[in-house]
Structures are given as C-alpha cells and as structure tokens.
Amino acid sequence: MPVYDPAAADACFVDGRPPKDLDAVLTWVRGLYETRQVGPSRLISARQKFGKTLFEIEEDTAAGPRRLIGKLGRTDRAEVLHKALCELRNDGFRPPARFTVSEPVAFVREHGFVLQEKVPGPQATRLILASGESGRTAAVDSARWLAALHSSNLSASSDSFDAHQVLRWAQALTEVQATDARMIRDIADAVLQRLSETATPGVPTHGDFHPSNVFIAGNERVSGIDLDKFAVREPESDIGWFLMQTAVLLFEGGRGSRPAGSPGPRALSL
C-alpha cells in the first residue's frame, strides 16, 4: 500500500511500493533535529523506487510549514547531487533568479542521504500534456532552464557512453524484441559510428533531463530536480533525452514517465 497523508495537498510519492524500514528511516531523520539541520516535521508521503527510499515531510519553521524531499540511495549519487545543488545555487540558480534548483538542507554522505527543498509549481509533464499555450510555454521554459545550465561555468566530472554499453543495450533489446534484431543491430552500428567521431565540446549537463524533472511556478521559478547524474557531456545528450521522453509521454497518453497504457497516439508539436 502507498504511504501518504490523504489530507495533504500535492503529495509527491502517492504511488509505488512503500519503503522498507520506513519507521527506522524517519527515526534517524528526526535525529537530525539535534544538529538543527531539520526542525519538527510530519510525514506526507514515501515510496521505494529503483533502490532509493524517497520521502516527503512537512517541517515546522518560524515562517510557517515548508515541504522537504528526502532521498536515501547510493553514496556516490548523493554526493554528486548535493555538490551540484550547492554549486549551482552559488552560481545564481536560486531565487530571485527565475531558473533555480532546490535548496539543499542536509547531507549525510555515508548514508547516501540528501534532504532538499520541495520546489514550487507543477511538473512540466502536466503542462506539456495539456493542450494549448501552457504546453508550448512549458517546453520553452524547460529549454531556457537547460540553456542556462549548459552556459554555466561550473566544473564537473566527465561522463561518456562507451561501446560496451551500446552493445549491452542492443543485446538486451534483441532478447525482448527478437523480430527486430536486424534493425536493432543497424541502430547500434550507427550509434557506434557516431561515438567514434569527434565529440561536441562538453558542457555541464543534467544527465536525466525530462519533463518530470522540471517544475514551473508561473513566471516566478523554473526549477530542475534530480541532478544526481550531473556531469560534463555533449549538450545534445540532455536535448535528445528530453525530446525522446516527451515523445513517449505524448504518444502513450501521458500515464507516467513510461506509460503502461495508451488511449492512442498524440501529435508531438513543441
């Protein structure tokens, strides 16, 4: 059963499997009160996803309640995320600027733990799937956030695909879609050919840039989240991933980031 407060508005993690040992996790998080990294809070929602424990709490502050998002996962990913958030905010990705990232609140490397602000606004996914001007505006706002990230002067580790990854993906696809084996091999050969060519100069990239990782609060803030794959890559990697994920959402009808059902294809007009 999902774990969430039905009385809370806009709970994040209302679907999926409940986290293992959630009570122990929350008890440990409450221990951060003693270090004054976190104030008294209540659980809003939680779930387990891809080996990560995700939860949302509402903290009591002097200025009123505020929502925070906690993640427990791989230590290396947590370190990348926390470092990216800190450096991007120092570089100007914080209010009153329009293009922002979430405020980091607490970080415990040995537990792979990051606690951060819940950014305001709806996901770009919801806006893009809506018909009319709101979808086009959300796509443009997402592109402008990405352009700001790519033009930042931050340093980061370099990341690139290699031939072994491509061959593993091709083999996995062939095993589940044997009738398209020849097409899959042709695509893999074309990808390997492009990888052998001189790459576009690298820039700071998101690494998992898609509409569900962008939140848009009107004209006030456009925020990118989930920067645990932040690294220097070709800028086309972010652009291609965003376009592919958006095409899947629109084609399948928008039931989640990788929809299971579809009422029929929709046109991609961004």
Q: Are 101 and 128 in the same domain?
A: no
Higher pLDDT, 38 or 14: 14
Q: pTM of the entire structure?
A: 0.82
Q: Are 10 and 109 in the same domain?
A: yes
Residue 59 dihedral angles phi and psi, to the nearest 5°: -95, 140
Q: Are 94 and 134 in the same domain?
A: no
CATH number, domain at 14? 3.30.200
CATH number, domain at 170? 3.90.1200.10
Number of folded domains in the chain? Answer: 2
Looking at residue 160, its pLDDT comes to 67
CB 246 within 8 A of CB 128: yes
Q: Are 218 and 144 in the same domain?
A: yes
What's the pLDDT band for 212 if we cut at 50, 70, 90? very high
Q: Are 16 and 95 in the same domain?
A: yes
Q: Is residue 257 part of a domain?
A: no
What's the pLDDT band for 156 if we cut at 50, 70, 90? confident
Q: Are 64 and 147 in the same domain?
A: no
Res 263 pLDDT > 50: no
Looking at residue 77, its pLDDT comes to 95
Q: Flag the least confident range among 3-17, 24-38, 88-102.
A: 24-38
Q: Is residue 26 part of a domain?
A: yes
**Closest among 239, 173, 179, 166 to 203, alpha carbons compared:** 239
Q: Are 165 and 198 in the same domain?
A: yes
Looking at residue 38, its pLDDT comes to 62
Looking at residue 9, its pLDDT comes to 82
Mean pLDDT of the chain, nearest integer: 86
Cα 3 to Cα 28: distance, rounded to the nearest angstrom = 18
For 217, the 3-state DSSP assignment is strand
Q: Are 59 and 156 in the same domain?
A: no
Q: Are 27 and 76 in the same domain?
A: yes
Cα 182 to Cα 154: distance, rounded to the nearest angstrom = 42
Quote the strand ranges of the chain, DSSP E.
3-4, 41-49, 52-59, 66-72, 99-101, 104-108, 113-117, 203-205, 214-217, 221-224, 231-233
Residue 187 dihedral angles phi and psi, to the nearest 5°: -65, -45
Q: Is residue 132 part of a domain?
A: yes
Looking at residue 50, its pLDDT comes to 82
Please say which residue of 50, 83, 117 terminates a domain: 117
Q: Are 56 and 107 in the same domain?
A: yes
Percent of the chain with pLDDT over 90: 56
Percent of the chain with pLDDT over 70: 88
Higher pLDDT, 243 or 201: 243
Place of tokens 């998992």: 208
Cα 245 to Cα 204: distance, rounded to the nearest angstrom = 20
Please say which residue of 74, 98, 117 terminates a domain: 117
Q: Is residue 267 part of a domain?
A: no
Q: Are 75 and 154 in the same domain?
A: no
Domain around 20? 3-117
Q: Flag the least confident range among 34-43, 82-91, 132-141, 186-195.
A: 34-43
Q: Is residue 262 part of a domain?
A: no
Q: How many residues does the chain have?
A: 270
Res 82 pLDDT > 90: yes
Looking at residue 43, its pLDDT comes to 87
